[in-house]
Amino acid sequence: MLLERRMAEKVIDLALEKGADFAEVYAERRVSMTLSLEDGKLEKSSSGLDLGASVRAIKDRSTSFVSTDSLEEEPLLEAARLAGEGAADGGGRAHALGGGKVADKHFIEVSPASVAAAAKVELLSAADGAARAVGTEIVQAMIGYNDTCSEVMVASSEGCFVTEERTRVRLVARIVAVREGLMQTGYDSVGAHKGMELFQERDPAAVGETAAKKARTMLDSRPAPSGKMTVVLHRGFGGVLFHEACGHGLEADAVEKGASVFADKTGEKVASELVTLVDDGSIAGEWGSNAIDDEGVPTGRNVLIEAGFLRGYMYDRLRARNAGVESTGNGRRQSFRHPPIPRMTNTFILDGESSVSEVFASTDSGFFAKTLSGGQVDPATGDFVFGVSEGYMIEAGRVTYPLRGATLIGNGPAVLKNVDMVADDFEMNIGVCGKDGQGVPAGSGQPTLRILDLTVGGTEV
């Protein structure tokens, strides 16, 4: 146990006594390991222990947050005093802590701590070897591995007292291929809220090979054309577009500030009737899942858009309190040093009724965006620009030659309305979502789907 119940109560009592009407203590112990292999050589091997707690105090709409790199009584009480005084002057209220350890939704078969570093390096070497075996055009392979094992505890003046153990592992491959002066890259990854058993489900060698084949394929690419066209988004990777261009606008802090294009539109039709968008942090084993959020609220399935109609937003405790609703279990933070804010967990579009072959066969001409890269989004308007690292031309209902240098330029709400076909081949992908200086694990996914009249920015002369 990170903090005894008695100590948590003492911290909360002091914060309330100093003026807050809500107080919370969040404690965390995190052990991590990072390995990186470049050109067959181990370039980085590091491990670390991070331990500490934070106290958050709220009075009306005033919030104060103080963190400490200690779980000792004196610094915890000092944090409580500072947080309580920072919230506002006033009277506290009585509370009683309840709850206890959360039932584990993420059964870990093989803890990363039980596996030697040398065995983990072998995983990277397998991915590196498989990537280089793709061909002589592969000139660089960068393979990264990371695991984290953490224990968190949340207690609050509303009676919350819960703990959870969290374990995540991830392996990524970034491969560079060169031919006659043309350089192209390929990327692939695997990760989950699981232990080392993940690599029995997905062979690390397959990750390296997949990334290398993407890079080699793009050596045969032609410059992408420009203009408005029909775009088919590949399953899985395409989900990042909806995560960025639509998901952030459905987080309650953006809605509360009026900085979201979806503000005050609950019950309105905001998308094609083929689109149902869900955020679900309770899916066992998924990368963005936890049993509880970082405020101690159980995670769950939140339908954001249902058959085109906006049903709700993603709330943390503070924004839910301001809006007079219940938290949806979307209060997340990077670590004990960061305050919780509304964040996505695993956000995805549900399967449709079309087959993948039907989507392509009915597309006379268009662009197939198979893998997206980085992008920029304005949550207030939904306008976005996304790079495409792997794309193809669609001609007469068939995927033909690869295209390079393409970008997707559009508007999130407009894209939602222009989805006219959704396939039945759903897949999730993993990533780290950045917001307000915090990065958290987040899953995004979708089936293959088709968007009408989306602008493709290209390099074709």
Q: 113 forms bridges with which residues in the sheet? A: none
Q: Is the pLDDT reported for residue 88 higher than 70? A: no
CA distances from 183 to 114, 371, 400, 459 (A): 40, 17, 21, 15
> Which residue among 220, 249, 264 closes a domain?
220
- Tell me the CATH number at 83: 3.30.2290.10
Q: Are residues 246 and 366 in the same domain?
A: yes
> Which residue among 193, 220, 247 closes a domain?
220
Could you tell me if residue 453 is left (phi over 0), alpha (psi between -120 and 50 degrees) or otherwise beta? Answer: left
pLDDT of residue 91: 43
Q: Are residues 172 and 267 in the same domain?
A: no
Q: Are residues 329 and 339 in the same domain?
A: yes
- Give the pTM: 0.95
Structure confidence at residue 375 as a pLDDT band (50, 70, 90) = confident
Of 95 and 52, more confident: 52
Q: Is the pLDDT reported for residue 104 higher than 70? A: no
In this predicted model, what pLDDT tens digit does every residue of 391-443 receive, in sequence order?
999 999 999 999 999 999 999 999 999 999 999 999 999 999 999 999 999 99
Q: Are residues 388 and 256 in the same domain?
A: yes
Of 314 and 105, more confident: 314
Total domain count, the chain:
2
Q: And the tokens for 6?
A: 């008695």
Task: Tell me which residue range forms the domain holding 173.
Answer: 5-220
Q: Is the pLDDT reported for residue 158 higher than 60? A: yes
> Which residue among 220, 253, 286 closes a domain?
220
Q: Are residues 18 and 151 in the same domain?
A: yes
Return d(Cα 267, Cα 284) in angstroms, integer. Answer: 30
Q: Are residues 173 and 37 in the same domain?
A: yes
Q: Is the pLDDT reported for residue 183 higher than 50? A: yes
Q: Are residues 247 and 134 in the same domain?
A: no
pLDDT of residue 61: 85
Return d(Cα 65, Cα 71) in angstroms, integer. Answer: 16
pLDDT of residue 99: 60
Q: Are residues 204 and 242 in the same domain?
A: no
pLDDT of residue 18: 83
Contact by Cβ (8 Å): 172, 198: no
> Sign of torsion, CA 17 18 24 26?
negative
pLDDT of residue 93: 47
Q: Is the pLDDT reported for residue 2 higher than 70? A: yes
Q: Are residues 390 and 317 in the same domain?
A: yes
Contact by Cβ (8 Å): 127, 143: yes
Q: Are residues 63 and 39 in the same domain?
A: yes
In this predicted model, what pLDDT tens digit does every residue of 258-281 receive, in sequence order?
999 999 999 999 999 999 999 999
Q: Are residues 172 and 253 in the same domain?
A: no
Q: Are residues 148 and 95 in the same domain?
A: yes
Cβ-count burial of 18 within 10 angstroms (0-12 exposed, 13-18 middle, 19+ buried)?
buried
Q: Is the pLDDT reported for residue 40 higher than 70? A: yes
